[in-house]
Amino acid sequence: MRVLYSQLESPVGILHLASTERGLTAIALGESSYAWLSRFRERVFPGSELEPAGKAHERFERELSEYFAGKRRLFDLPLDIRGTDFQKQVWAAVTQVPFGRTTTYATLALLVDRPKSSRAVGGANGANPLPIVIPCHRVVGASGHLTGYGGGLPIKRWLLTHEGVLRTGAVQMGLFNRTRPSRGAPFLDTGSGQTAKTQGGERS
């Protein structure tokens, strides 16, 4: 399988993007991000090589750039999501958290009908291969404090500030507490190559 690769400069550093013919499959950010992407490719697509994407990533790069510029709150991209069924279930729940809001691991556990599995939900959230598009940065501790983030807490803090969630370094406690997906809620494709949408309102 061909795995295409490109870099995108952003306010949180260089993003490393990878895609397959189905869609965007990974975003690596933070320190050692290229090394993480290389390990992801070897684990998920053994025997493949990263090939320059050229113009094939223009749509991905444009929507991400619009997000960072404050011009986009909703991603509308084809995704190729690789993970276990449980991980995909958790990531689908994460996409329901609106732009400018946060939720907790306990709430995510309720959303996936695993109310006693907050720790496992946290592990799945941490394994998210598509940060920002699947907004795992919107998940915080039960007290509202920032918790771990694969790209590093400074990036998580920047993203939440960018979305208007952080106020003088503290998370506003306007938590998203939906206990079940509502009818017509945004969906997350789990690998069929169809377009996936993430919550947050329309493009401004």
Cβ pair 4, 53 in contact under 8 A: yes
Q: What is the CATH code for 3-73?
A: 3.30.160.70
Residue-wise pLDDT for 72-99, tens only, equals 999 999 999 999 999 999 999 999 999 9
Cβ pair 130, 83 in contact under 8 A: no
In this model, does residue 191 exceed pLDDT 50?
Answer: no
Alpha carbons 37 and 34: distance in angstroms, whole number: 5
Cβ pair 8, 133 in contact under 8 A: no
Using the 8-state DSSP alphabet, how is residue 113 labeled? T
What kind and span of H or E run contains 7?
A: strand 3-8
- For residue 58, which amino acid is it? E
R_g (Cα) of the chain, nearest Å: 16
Beta bridge partners of 192: none
In this model, does residue 193 exceed pLDDT 70?
Answer: no
What does each C-alpha distance from 161 to 70, 104, 125 come to in angstroms?
12, 17, 20
pLDDT of residue 1: 84
pLDDT of residue 72: 97
Across the range 66-70, mean pLDDT stands at 98
In this model, does residue 192 exceed pLDDT 90?
Answer: no
In this model, does residue 161 exceed pLDDT 60?
Answer: yes
Residue-wise pLDDT for 135-159, tens only, equals 999 999 887 788 888 889 999 999 9
Alpha carbons 91 and 116: distance in angstroms, whole number: 17
Which of 92, 136, 146, 188 is labelled catalytic? 136
pLDDT of residue 176: 57
User: What average pLDDT does the chain have?
Assistant: 85
pLDDT of residue 187: 37
In this model, does residue 182 exceed pLDDT 50?
Answer: no
What does each C-alpha distance from 143 to 72, 140, 166, 192 come to in angstroms?
29, 8, 14, 37
More confident residue, 31 or 42: 42
Query: Which phi and psi angles does 6 have, rounded to 5°?
Result: -150, 165
What kind and span of H or E run contains 16?
A: strand 15-19
186 noted as active-site residue? no
Query: Are 3-73 and 85-197 equal in CATH topology?
Result: no
In this model, does residue 34 exceed pLDDT 50?
Answer: yes
Residue-wise pLDDT for 15-30, tens only, equals 999 999 999 999 999 8
pLDDT of residue 183: 40
Q: 85-197 has which fold?
A: Arc Repressor Mutant, subunit A (1.10.10)
What kind and span of H or E run contains 61?
A: helix 58-68
Query: How many Cβ atoms are within 10 Å of 6's Cβ, its own excluded?
Result: 19
In this model, does residue 62 exceed pLDDT 90?
Answer: yes
More confident residue, 179 or 37: 37
Q: Domain segments of the chain: what residues?
A: 3-73, 85-197
Q: Indicate the pTM of the whole model.
A: 0.84
pLDDT of residue 198: 57
Alpha carbons 71 and 82: distance in angstroms, whole number: 28
